[in-house]
């Protein structure tokens, strides 16, 4: 087995100029796949609300959802770091609640680190969590839990003032103690500027090629949802079609008395 991925290893890889990889996982089989593929980080994203639970956005996802899915991913992972998203309202109310929520994700679910969205307003919360010994990953740009505030999933940082704020927020998050930052839906040149301005790894999703690493939703890159094709995602396979055909073949064989046959009977 390869050496376990840790926050120190990620920092060393950034310093060495090695590109980093992160991919979402939501259960035991996807955690196992991500791990065996050699991905550095398995992110149990609250995007499970969209791609696993069928919600319109991430907002309805609960702490119980995150603990349930994170613990399943952890059971499938041996080498990768497992990072769990802190869901909506698990950290915004107070730093005290945030610490309790982060503690549950680590203690009950087995996560190695947590991720939360926001810039300067969450820095005190980041400090509170990291002071307790829990690694925190930041998230800037398009923060999905604020989708209603943004009026949809829109690229952030297009204006000079927005760009300056994002760079400033990134520096503030580093000072607060984050070990990495996700940069979502922002111009590539802004992501390059942020990446150069911080000593910790950046992970882009819809933020161009200049980040230290990339993160994607596993359902998008495997082509598991026909018609779901975000501009920032590349489908490396179309698994929906063969899976659908396999299920149809099973149904046909059962209906026609072909399965189970002698080979599959005792």
Please tell me whether residues 185 and 259 are part of one structural domain.
no
Please tell me whether residues 94 and 209 are part of one structural domain.
yes
Distance CA 146, CA 148 (A): 6
Helix axes 123-131, 95-107, angle to 10 degrees: 40
Residue 1 located in a structural domain: no
Q: Write the CA distances from 250 to 238, 253, 254, integer angstroms.
A: 20, 5, 6
Please tell me whether residues 43 and 166 are part of one structural domain.
yes
pTM as predicted: 0.96
pLDDT at 151: 79
Domain that holds residue 249: 240-266
Please tell me whether residues 209 and 102 are part of one structural domain.
yes
Please tell me whether residues 126 and 223 are part of one structural domain.
yes
DSSP-H helix ranges across the chain: 7-15, 28-36, 48-51, 63-76, 95-107, 123-131, 147-150, 160-176, 188-197, 218-221, 240-255
Please tell me whether residues 145 and 64 are part of one structural domain.
yes
Q: Write the CA distances from 24 to 30, 42, 83, integer angstroms.
A: 8, 6, 9
Please tell me whether residues 16 and 120 are part of one structural domain.
yes
Please tell me whether residues 164 and 128 are part of one structural domain.
yes
Residue 226 pLDDT > 60:
yes
- % of the chain with per-residue pLDDT over 70: 100
Q: What is the arithmetic mean of pLDDT over 187-193?
A: 98
Q: Write the CA distances from 131 to 63, 64, 95, 136, 175, integer angstroms.
A: 22, 24, 12, 10, 13
Residue 39 located in a structural domain: yes
pLDDT band for position 260 (50/70/90)? Answer: very high
pLDDT, one tens digit per residue, over 112-170 is: 999 999 999 999 999 999 999 999 999 999 998 888 887 777 889 999 999 999 999 99
Q: What is the arithmetic mean of pLDDT over 13-40?
A: 98
pLDDT at 247: 98
Residue 1 pLDDT > 70:
no
Please tell me whether residues 208 and 252 are part of one structural domain.
no
Please tell me whether residues 259 and 215 are part of one structural domain.
no
Active-site residues: which are they? 184
Distance CA 191, CA 257 (A): 58
Please tell me whether residues 224 and 191 are part of one structural domain.
yes
**What is the count of structural domains for the chain?**
2
């Amino acid at each position: 087995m390869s050496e376990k991925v840790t926050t120190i290893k990620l920092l060393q890889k950034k310093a060495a100029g090695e590109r980093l990889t992160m991919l979402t996982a939501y259960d035991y089989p996807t955690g196992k796949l991500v791990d065996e593929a050699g991905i550095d980080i398995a992110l149990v994203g609250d995007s499970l609300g969209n791609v696993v639970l069928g919600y319109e956005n991430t907002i309805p996802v609960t702490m119980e959802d995150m603990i349930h899915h994170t613990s399943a991913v952890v059971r499938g992972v041996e080498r990768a770091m497992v990072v769990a998203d802190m869901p909506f309202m698990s950290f915004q109310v107070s730093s005290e609640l945030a610490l309790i929520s982060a503690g549950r994700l680590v203690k009950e679910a087995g996560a190695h680190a947590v991720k939360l969205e926001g810039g300067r307003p969450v820095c005190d919360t980041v400090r509170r969590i990291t002071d307790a010994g829990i690694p925190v990953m930041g998230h800037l740009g398009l923060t999905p839990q604020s989708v209603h505030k943004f009026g949809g999933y829109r690229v952030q940082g297009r204006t000079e003032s927005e760009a300056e704020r994002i760079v400033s927020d990134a520096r503030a998050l580093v000072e607060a103690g984050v070990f990495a930052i996700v940069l979502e839906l922002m111009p590539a040149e802004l992501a390059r500027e942020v990446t150069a301005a911080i000593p910790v790894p950046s992970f882009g999703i819809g933020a161009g090629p200049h980040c230290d690493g990339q993160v994607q939703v596993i359902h998008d890159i495997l082509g598991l949802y026909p018609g779901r094709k975000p501009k920032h995602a590349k489908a490396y396979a179309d698994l929906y079609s063969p899976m659908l055909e396999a299920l149809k073949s099973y149904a046909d064989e059962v209906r026609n008395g072909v399965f189970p046959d002698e080979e599959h009977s005792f």
